[in-house]
Structures are given as C-alpha cells and as structure tokens.
Amino acid sequence: MTPFTADVLKVILGIPPGQVMTYGQIAAQAGSPRAARQVVRILHSMSDKHALPWHRVINAKGEIAIGSDEGRFLQRALLEEEGVYVNPAGAVDLDEYKFEPDSPPHESV
C-alpha cells in the first residue's frame, strides 16, 4: 500500500458520523490535492476490506456522485440515518455538514 493510499484511508476513517468530506478535500488532506480521482478508486476498491464509511464522501458540489440508482439510494439513506439532510436533488449543504480535520495525516504532530 502506498503512503498516499494509507493516508486516504486514515482521512476517510476519521470522518465522524453526521459529517461529510469531498473527494478533493480527502486528496488534499492526504497530501495530493489533485488526486480526487485516486480517492474514488481507493474507495471503490477498498471500502469493504477496510470498513470505510464510504457514504460520507461526496463530490465538490455536495452531491451524491454514485452512478447507480441503488447506490445513490443507499448513500442517501445512510447519511440521513446519521442526521445529514440530503435535499431532493441529492445534495448536502457543505456549509453545514462538511468535516474540516485539524491537520493532514501525513504531517507529523
């Protein structure tokens, strides 16, 4: 596993219930701000193995970005169970629900 992948996993695992982060925000926290698509691939390939809270990750517009209707419905349901309001268009208010970690996992404290 690359250090970037390990950092992405740490960031995702650190998203608290009831909050969300964007793919780009996670990439930046993991030390590679332009790697949002890599975050998508990591989520897709490692969510089950690492029990990632994948449903807390959304796109930069605050939208659920899963392609299938079933996946969008499941993500919406999981977010709503945690108290996150998802509007009828499938978007979350980032001003209200976006998680802002204190420091990136790749930085020494």
Top-level CATH class of 3-97? mainly alpha
Element (H, E) at 46: helix 36-46
The ranges assigned to domains in the chain are: 3-97
pLDDT digits (tens, 9 = 90+) for 6-30: 999 999 999 999 999 999 999 999 9
The contacts of residue 22 (CB under 8 Å, 6+ apart) are 36, 57, 58, 59, 60, 62, 94, 98
pLDDT digits (tens, 9 = 90+) for 42-98: 999 998 899 999 999 999 999 998 877 888 899 999 999 999 999 998 899 999 999
pLDDT digits (tens, 9 = 90+) for 52-67: 999 999 999 999 988 7
